[in-house]
Structures are given as structure tokens and as C-alpha cells.
Amino acid sequence: MGDALANGMSLQQALQFTERFFPELAMIWTGVATELATGQSLATALKPWIRIDLYYQLQLAESHGSLHQTIHQVGQYLTQQVRQQRKLRGLLQYPLLLLVMLGGFGIVMGRMIWPQIQSLQVTTPPSWPQIISVQGLITTASAGGTIIVIQGIRYYRMTRLQRINWLCRQPLIGRYLRLYWQYYLVSNLAMMLSQGMSWQEMTRLAQQYHPESILHQTFATLESQVAQGQSLAQVIERSGYLPNELAAFLGRGLTVGALGHELEVYGQVLFRQFLTRTEQLLELVQPILFIVVAIMIGGMYLSLLLPLYHSLQAVN
């Protein structure tokens, strides 16, 4: 749809064009076209089929007049998401096959090879079950399970913004998620500023959104913390989901229109960084899995060689 709009088609023509590419979704496109014919906005027509944050992003774009650009960018993000899911499945196939084969080999070792090695030994070496006590394993597993349950309960009780903030601070995936939410919030803030909105007007607009939307919770949090006497720059720097550079942009003293334009460009930069970061994250998947496979192979070799080594010592 974004490509069709970018090439000069009207919204109705873009819908028909898209329907020809995805005939299996004809019911959705027909429903969207019907909603548009009754005077509804595109965001409202698509609301049942998209996430709430994308809905408000499209709604803002329609009122701002940048619908074509926003649809194209959202389409790029969703296309990239699907492409990465397919790439991830492809990257996982070979390592997971190795893990399954190693698991099968481990079962064969435990039931056939290991008993025969033990029967040939002159002295009984310390086996893995003796080295690692069952009680220790049970204690470790119980402690790990308790920690997971407690963290799960805490996560469930968090607001959506607190969950995003927590996830953005996690290793490995945190940078990936942080770049996406930074792009999302900066681009929406840029659209609001480009319409000439003041801070109070943006806050009132965000209050009209669904309480679960990230825009509603972000503006509510910023408003409450600023009301407590904190500066906006301090609030931004302490958050895990807002870019620190945003405070520098807001503190430059630009006009609302110029600030909106600069943030729009900055949002595009964040979007490109987000795409690059996801590619780098995917490149780490196979090496990590191969390290796990190597550790498993090393453990199997040790389980075979250590008993033989003890047997040779006993013979000597």
C-alpha cells in the first residue's frame, strides 16, 4: 500500500492494488474499503487488524498530512519483521538439527556405551552424578524456578511502559527494542510538533488515547515527573526508552516547526539504526548456538575419556 501511494495512487486505488497482491485477505480489504466509504479514517478502518501503537501512529499521520510516508515506513518495519522471522528460522535449522542429533547421541551413550565402560573399569572413577549431587541440582533448580516466578509476577503487575523500560535495559535485546521505541516516540513527537502543538496540547491529545498505548503512558509519566519539579532533560536521561539526544534537541530553543522537522529527520536516522541493529542481532544467533553445541560435544568427550583415563591409571 505504501508503494502504491508513493507512486501517486489514491487511497482507494491503493487498497484495490494491495487486494490483488493478497487475495487471501480480501475480506479485510473489503471491510476497510467499506469503512472508508462511510467516511471513517484509514486508521479507524485498520484498527481491528493492527497493534494499538500503529493505530495511533497512522491516526497522527492522517491529521498531520504525512500518511503516505508513514504507511511506507510502517510497511518497511513490518516487512523487515517478517523477513527477519524467516531468516531466524533459516539460521536455527542447522544448529537445532545438531542439538537434536547430540541429544540422541547422549541418550545412546547413557543407556549403552556408559554402562559398558563402567563394566570394564578396574576402579570406579567419580561419575558426573557423584561429582554433582542430586540435592545440589534440586536446590539450584528450585532457586531458579522461584526467581523466574517472582520476576514473572513483577512483570505481570507492571504497566506497559514499565515493561518496555525494563526490557530496554536487558542485555542483547535491550538495544534492539530501545531503538524501535525511540524511533516510534520521536517520529510521533515530530508529527505533533509539525502541526504547531504546544506541550500542553500534546499532553491533552495523548490523554485521549487508550490507557494501554505507549503515547498515553509516556506523556502521563513525563507530565507527572515534570510537575514534581524535575526538568524534562532529567526525565528523558533517566528513562531507558527515550534517546538522550532528545533533551539536546528540545533545549536548542528552536521554533516548533523547525524542531518538528529536525525530529522527523532524527526519527528516520533511528529507524535505519534499528534495521541495522536487528541484522546484527540475527548474525549472533548461529555463533551462540554453535558455542552451545561445542560445549555439549566437549562434555560428551569428557564423559567418555575420563573413565578410560582412570582405567589406564588403575592398570598402571
pLDDT digits (tens, 9 = 90+) for 183-213: 888 888 888 887 777 888 888 888 888 888 8
Whole-model pTM over 0.85: no
Residue 142 burial by Cβ neighbours in a 10 Å radius (0-12, 13-18, 19+): exposed
pLDDT digits (tens, 9 = 90+) for 42-92: 888 888 888 888 888 888 888 776 788 888 878 888 887 788 788 878 877
Q: How far is it, in rounded angstroms, from Cα 78 to Cα 51?
A: 11
- Shortest CA distance to 296 belongs to which of 105, 89, 91? 105
Q: How confident is the model at residue 132 (pLDDT cuts 50, 70, 90)?
A: very low
Mean of pLDDT values over 115-119: 66
Alpha helices in 47-133 (DSSP H): 52-64, 67-108, 114-120, 128-131
Single-letter amino acid code for the residue at 165: N
Q: How confident is the model at residue 181 (pLDDT cuts 50, 70, 90)?
A: confident
Alpha helices in 109-241 (DSSP H): 114-120, 128-131, 134-157, 160-168, 174-194, 199-207, 214-227, 232-238
